[in-house]
Structures are given as C-alpha cells and as structure tokens.
Amino acid sequence: MTDADGLLVKRCLHGETMAMQALVERFHPEVFGLCVRILHHRQDAEDVAQEVFLRIFRSLKRWDSKRPLRPWVMGITVNRCRTWIGQKRRRPEPVDYVEEIATTTPVDDGSELAREIQAALEGLRVEYRGVFVLFHEQGMPYEEIAQALRKPVGTVKTWLHRARLEIMDHLRRRGMVAEVEHEMP
Amino acid sequence: MKCLDIKIWLQNWLDGQAPGADGQRTVEPAAQAHFRQCKACREQFAAAQRMVEGMKLFSRPTSPARDLSRSIVAKALQDRVERRLKFQRRLRLTVALAASILIMVIAGYIFEPGPKKDNGNGVVAKQEAPATDPRKQEAPPEKSKEDSTPALAKALDEAKGTMAALTGKLTDQTRESAKRLITAATPTLELPPMGTGILPEESIDATASVLKAGQEISDGIQPVTRSARRAMDFFLREMSTFEVAKVE
C-alpha cells in the first residue's frame, strides 16, 4: 500500500497528469465528505476540497514515504477546514450568502436522526468534529487520526469521548432517545 | 459493574462500532444487569445506540462533478508554474540586489575621497576629513557646555599670556635701548653712588635729556599698549558673546 502510494507520489512529483488525476480521484470522496461534515456547507466544502488538493500537490515532496498517505491527506483537510472556519469568522458575511446557508440543506440524509446528529456536530469544536467524523464515518483508527492531527493518541481519545458525550446529550435533549425499558438486545 | 465501569465499557463498545464491524455488537450480561438497575446508564446507552444508528444513516456526500479531478489537476499545474515563476523572480531580484550592493561597496572603496592610512594590521583606516568651519573645530556641536568651556578659557589664557609677554618684551627692548643711548651719550660720566641725591652739574643736562627720552619712549609705547589692551578686551567681549549664543 505504502509502495503504491510512494510510486503515485513520485509520478505526481514528476508532473504526470494522469497520476495527479488518480490521486485526486482516490482521495476526493473522503476529503470532500470530511469538508462537508466539518463546514456544513456544500459550496464551501467544494472550495476547501480544491484548496486541499492544491496544498497536497504543493507539499507532496515533504511527505514522509515511510508513513501512510491517507492520514497525511486527512490531516491537511482538517487543518484547511479549521483555517477556513477561522477566516470566515473574521470576515464580514454578505447578507445573500447568509441566506444561502440558511436555505441550503447541510447534508443529503433524509433521516431526522441523521439531521440531529449533523446539528449536534455543528455545535462541536472543530477538533472534536474532525475526530468524530474521521473515526465514525471515515473509519480511521486512533493511531492514524493521531498521525493526521499530529496529536497524541490519548488526546484523540479524549476528544472523541467528549464529542460522543456532547452528541448523545444533544440527542437526549432533542427527544431523539426514547424512554427505554430494561430489555437489551 | 458500577456506573464508572459502564462508562468505560460504553466507550469500548462505541470503539467497536467502526464501519465494517456493523451488527456484531453484543452487550455483556454484567452490563445488562447494571442497566436493569440504573436508569441513567440505561439512558446513556440508549443514546449511544441512537447515535450509532444515526451514523449508519449518514450517506457520503456525493462529489460535485465528474470532471472535478481534471480541473483540480489543471489548477495544480498552473499553480506549480506560477510558483516556479515567482521563485525565479524572487531569485533574480535577490541577485540584482546583492550585485548592486557589491557595486556600491566597490565604488565606495575605489572613489573614497582622501588618502588612506594603513594601521599596521592590514586594515586601511580612513583619514579624518578636514573641517571646513573653524568654529566647529573650536567647539564641535556634539560637545556639551561643560566640555567646550574649559577649552575656550584655556585659549583665552594663552592669548592673555602671549599679549603680556609681547608687551614685556617690548618694554625690555626699549629699556635696553635707552641704557645704550645713555652710555653712548656720556661715556665718561660717573654716576654718584645711590642714596646721595646729588648729581654733578654736567650730569644734570644729560639726565634731563635721558628722562625726556625715556618719557618720549614711554609716551610712544603707551598707544601700542593701549591698543593691545583694547584689542584684547574686544576679543574677550566677542568671544564671550559667541559662547553665550552657542550655548543658547
């Protein structure tokens, strides 16, 4: 896997268009999905995903070929999303843009439960949000998340634990958890 | 199991719910027993189950366009070209700047005014440029009042001393001339011893003429001395005025 990644990266560094396209196609769904989950805005997610790939191609020669490529790509994605959110907080929001956000459905899930989880995610800190999505949606193990975010595994575990607690609390407050009897599966 | 154990168990249970391990979750009998007794833990577990259920309903956001990868690659290639051009521009600018600094240094070294002295260590030291303003030489503007006043006073003292010495020398010369004149006029004249108060008849005329000559010489010197004194006073007055103006 790492050899294939190394070869792909080497070809990208030589400027092979096909290799670059292959890299984008391989990681785009995950990068875009993570951007959507963190930013809650499709248009923003598209822009940030493009930025992420530009950044990846810029700094590809700094990638350590001994490490897997995926956590590195996801780490760049989380960092770009965090930077985007920070910039968005600082710059004034045009009125029509605000309306666009309000009318845009944040996710394409039909379920109310999924929408509530998405709403709960919006209330989380960016770091917690990233860790939660990477673990529960992207299926990344703790070690890879720690590599991606350049944090200790313990920190990742703590963030994930807090994210879960906040989401569960949100679901309870929103009445999404029915009163359960002691019957267990 | 206690509530604290259930919290740890719940996290482990959630950790095992990564995509791919779906449907394999089981609840330990010990945990089930605790849930029967503890409502809070039961609700917490129910919320965790709902969360996992909701995550399964999450669908991956679809990619916006099929030719997106092509446009991203095109942008990346354009970005690479732009960055290369930017780097080359920056490099050229840096080289040009370094070259101009080098030329300025060499030109400054070659066309530097005034002779240079070697201080013996192989380092060429610059000679101080001659001052154009004499006042600056006497009292440089950087110096404070305390620094400049003693130098001025010393110069004035020297000027006074020189004037006094000149006047004294002139007086001495005049006296010597007068002595020689008297000797030449009356070579055989013997003056009475001091304290008698009586002069011989022959010497009265000679003495009178000498006194007269001395008086005339003294009268002649007086204007010179007076002029020198006036010049000195004028010089001192001017210098003190200049000093006050400079300090202010």
Could you tell me if A97 and A113 lie in one domain?
no
Tell me how close the Cα of B90 comes to any Cα of chain A, in angstroms: 18
Predicted confidence band of residue B191 (pLDDT cuts 50, 70, 90) = low
Asked if B54 contacts A114 with a C-beta cutoff of 8 angstroms, the reply is yes
Does residue A138 fall inside a structural domain?
Answer: yes
Could you tell me if A46 and A119 lie in one domain?
no
Contacts across the A-B interface (CB distance below 8 Å): 123
Q: Is A85 on the interface with B (CB under 8 A)?
A: no
pTM for the model? 0.57
Please answer yes or no on whether B77 and A20 come within 8 Å at the CB atom: yes
Does residue A185 fall inside a structural domain?
Answer: no
Please answer yes or no on whether A24 and B69 come within 8 Å at the CB atom: yes
Q: Is A167 on the interface with B (CB under 8 A)?
A: yes
- Tell me the residue range of the domain where A113 lies: 107-178
Q: What is the pLDDT of residues B37-72, one digit of tens each?
A: 888 888 888 898 888 888 888 777 776 666 778 888
Could you tell me if A91 and A16 lie in one domain?
yes
Please answer yes or no on whether A15 and B54 come within 8 Å at the CB atom: no
Which residue of chain A is at minimal alpha-carbon distance from B64? Answer: A46
Q: Which distant-in-sequence residues (6+ apart) come within 8 Å of A137 by Cβ?
A: A33, A34, A37, B19, B55, B58, B60
Contacts of A168 in chain B (CB under 8 A): 44, 47-48, 50-51
Could you tell me if A64 and A141 lie in one domain?
no
Could you tell me if A71 and A18 lie in one domain?
yes
Looking at residue A103, its pLDDT comes to 38
Please answer yes or no on whether A53 and B76 come within 8 Å at the CB atom: yes
Q: What is the pLDDT of residues A4-58, one digit of tens each?
A: 888 889 998 888 888 998 899 889 988 998 998 899 888 899 899 999 999 999 9
Looking at residue A2, its pLDDT comes to 64
Bridge-based pairing of strands B116-118 and B124-126 is antiparallel
Could you tell me if A119 and A170 lie in one domain?
yes
Does residue A183 fall inside a structural domain?
Answer: no
Please answer yes or no on whether A114 and B54 come within 8 Å at the CB atom: yes
Average pLDDT, chain B: 74
Could you tell me if A16 and A99 lie in one domain?
yes
Please answer yes or no on whether A184 and B64 come within 8 Å at the CB atom: no
Could you tell me if A79 and A6 lie in one domain?
yes
Could you tell me if A123 and A57 lie in one domain?
no
User: Does position B176 have pLDDT exceeding 90, yes or no?
Assistant: no
Does residue A132 fall inside a structural domain?
Answer: yes
Please answer yes or no on whether A15 and B68 come within 8 Å at the CB atom: no
Going by C-alpha positions, the residue among B91, B126, B57 that lies closest to residue A115 is B57
Please answer yes or no on whether B69 and A21 come within 8 Å at the CB atom: yes
Which residue of chain A is at minimal alpha-carbon distance from B12? Answer: A161
Looking at residue B198, its pLDDT comes to 57
Does residue A184 fall inside a structural domain?
Answer: no
Does residue A23 fall inside a structural domain?
Answer: yes
Q: Which of A84, A104, A124 is the last residue of a domain?
A: A104
**Residue type for position A133:** V
At A73, give phi and psi (nearest 5°).
Answer: -65, -45
Please answer yes or no on whether B57 and A113 come within 8 Å at the CB atom: yes
Q: Is A74 on the interface with B (CB under 8 A)?
A: no
Burial of B210 (0-12, 13-18, 19+ CB in 10 A): middle
Please answer yes or no on whether A15 and B80 come within 8 Å at the CB atom: yes
Could you tell me if A100 and A111 lie in one domain?
no
Q: Which of A48, A71, A104 is the last residue of a domain?
A: A104
Average pLDDT, chain A: 83
User: Which CATH number do you get for residue A168?
Assistant: 1.10.10.10
Residues from B contacting A (CB-CB < 8 Å) are 11, 14, 17-20, 25, 27, 31-32, 35-36, 42-48, 50-51, 53-55, 57-64, 68-70, 72-73, 75-77, 79-80, 83
User: Does position B132 have pLDDT exceeding 80, yes or no?
Assistant: no
Predicted ipTM of the assembly? 0.77
d(CA A104, CA A90): 22
Could you tell me if A119 and A171 lie in one domain?
yes
pLDDT averaged over 10-residue windows placed end to end, chain A, 185 residues: 80 88 89 90 90 92 87 92 87 53 43 85 90 90 91 94 93 80 52
Please answer yes or no on whether B36 and A182 come within 8 Å at the CB atom: yes
d(CA B6, CA B30): 9
**Contacts for B61-66: CB closer than 8 Å, 24+ residues apart:** B61/A32, B61/A33, B61/A36, B61/A37, B61/A42, B61/A45, B61/A107, B61/A108, B62/A108, B63/A28, B63/A29, B63/A32, B64/A32, B64/A42, B64/A46
Query: What is the sign of the dihedral through the CA atoms of A70, A72, A78 and A81?
Result: negative
Does residue A158 fall inside a structural domain?
Answer: yes
Looking at residue B152, its pLDDT comes to 72
User: Which CATH number do you get for residue A39?
Assistant: 1.10.1740.10
Q: Which of A104, A127, A156 is the last residue of a domain?
A: A104
Q: Is A29 on the interface with B (CB under 8 A)?
A: yes
Which residue of chain B is at minimal alpha-carbon distance from A162? Answer: B11
Could you tell me if A76 and A118 lie in one domain?
no
Asked if B97 contacts A70 with a C-beta cutoff of 8 angstroms, the reply is no
How many domains does chain A fold into? 2
Contacts of A36 in chain B (CB under 8 A): 61
